[in-house]
């Protein structure tokens, strides 16, 4: 370990990305407790329109929810590396060889200017770094819509995202199997709309991978 690395680790010891506890030397990204007890999201799930498959690392609840809120709204952009490692591991385990390129659900320019970063683009870069790939920009958000989190009802959420995204350079993904990354899957309305746009522009298949998904209520 370099001296600079040692000093940084002493001043800013790495913490568990979920509960914030300072990590032991043999721990990476998660403390032993969270590694065992975090609410893992099983792979077999409800079908989402236009998506060939989807997976998420965790259910969106408790410490996972608090962690993602810090990542999105409290400038914890360095969480991207940890999320990226954990998501890349799950992708390798479940979808190895099932896609040709990786892209992400973009935020609007306006929101990126306000937040200072596109949290899903950072996630895509981190996942790709783990997999030895480069993310490919395939979508652009062309309209600034109200956040999905404030909208109740599946039909209303679908309407809120309709026509909000457009394809970028479709020649890059024509006849390709696309892995679309997102941070949180709530109802899947945004993902389905993005997948619809990608398929209309020539993608062969669209799969999705996210850090967390809201547990379905039956």
| Shortest Å distance, C-beta 215 to Zn ion | 20
- Report how far residue 166's alpha carbon sits from residue 105's, in angstroms, rounded to the nearest whole number: 11
CA–CA distances in Å: residue 158 to residues 46, 79, 174: 17, 29, 25
Q: Which two tokens stand for residue 34?
A: 């969270």
| Shortest Å distance, C-beta 138 to Zn ion | 34
| Shortest Å distance, C-beta 35 to Zn ion | 8
- Report how far residue 96's alpha carbon sits from residue 215's, in angstroms, rounded to the nearest whole number: 25
Cβ closest to Zn ion, residue 11 vs residue 36: 36
| Shortest Å distance, C-beta 38 to Zn ion | 8
Cβ closest to Zn ion, residue 79 vs residue 104: 79
- Per the DSSP assignment, residues forming a β-bridge with 177 are 205
Cβ closest to Zn ion, residue 21 vs residue 204: 21
- Binding residues for Zn ion (CB under 5 A): 16, 18-19, 21, 31, 34
Cβ closest to Zn ion, residue 29 vs residue 182: 29
CA 209 to the chain's CA centroid: 6
CA 95 to the chain's CA centroid: 15
């Amino acid at each position: 370990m370099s001296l600079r690395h040692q000093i940084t680790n002493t001043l800013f010891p790495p913490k568990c990305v979920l509960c914030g506890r300072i990590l032991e030397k043999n721990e990476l990204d998660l403390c032993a407790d969270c590694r065992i007890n975090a609410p893992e999201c099983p792979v077999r799930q409800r079908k989402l329109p236009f998506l060939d498959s989807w997976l998420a690392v965790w259910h969106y609840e408790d410490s996972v929810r608090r962690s993602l809120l810090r990542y999105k709204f409290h400038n914890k952009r360095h969480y991207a590396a940890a999320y990226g490692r954990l998501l890349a591991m799950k992708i390798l385990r479940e979808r190895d060889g099932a896609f040709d390129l990786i892209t992400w659900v973009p935020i609007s320019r306006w929101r990126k200017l306000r937040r200072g970063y596109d949290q899903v683009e950072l996630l895509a870069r981190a996942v790709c770094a783990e997999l030895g790939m480069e993310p490919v920009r395939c979508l652009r958000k062309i309209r600034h819509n109200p956040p999905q989190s404030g909208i109740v009802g599946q039909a209303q959420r679908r309407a809120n995202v309709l026509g909000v995204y457009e394809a970028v350079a479709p020649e890059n993904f024509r006849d390709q199997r696309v892995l679309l990354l997102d941070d949180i899957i709530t109802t899947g309305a945004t993902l389905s709309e993005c997948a619809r746009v990608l398929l209309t522009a020539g993608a062969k298949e669209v799969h999705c991978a996210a850090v967390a998904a809201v547990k379905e209520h039956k």
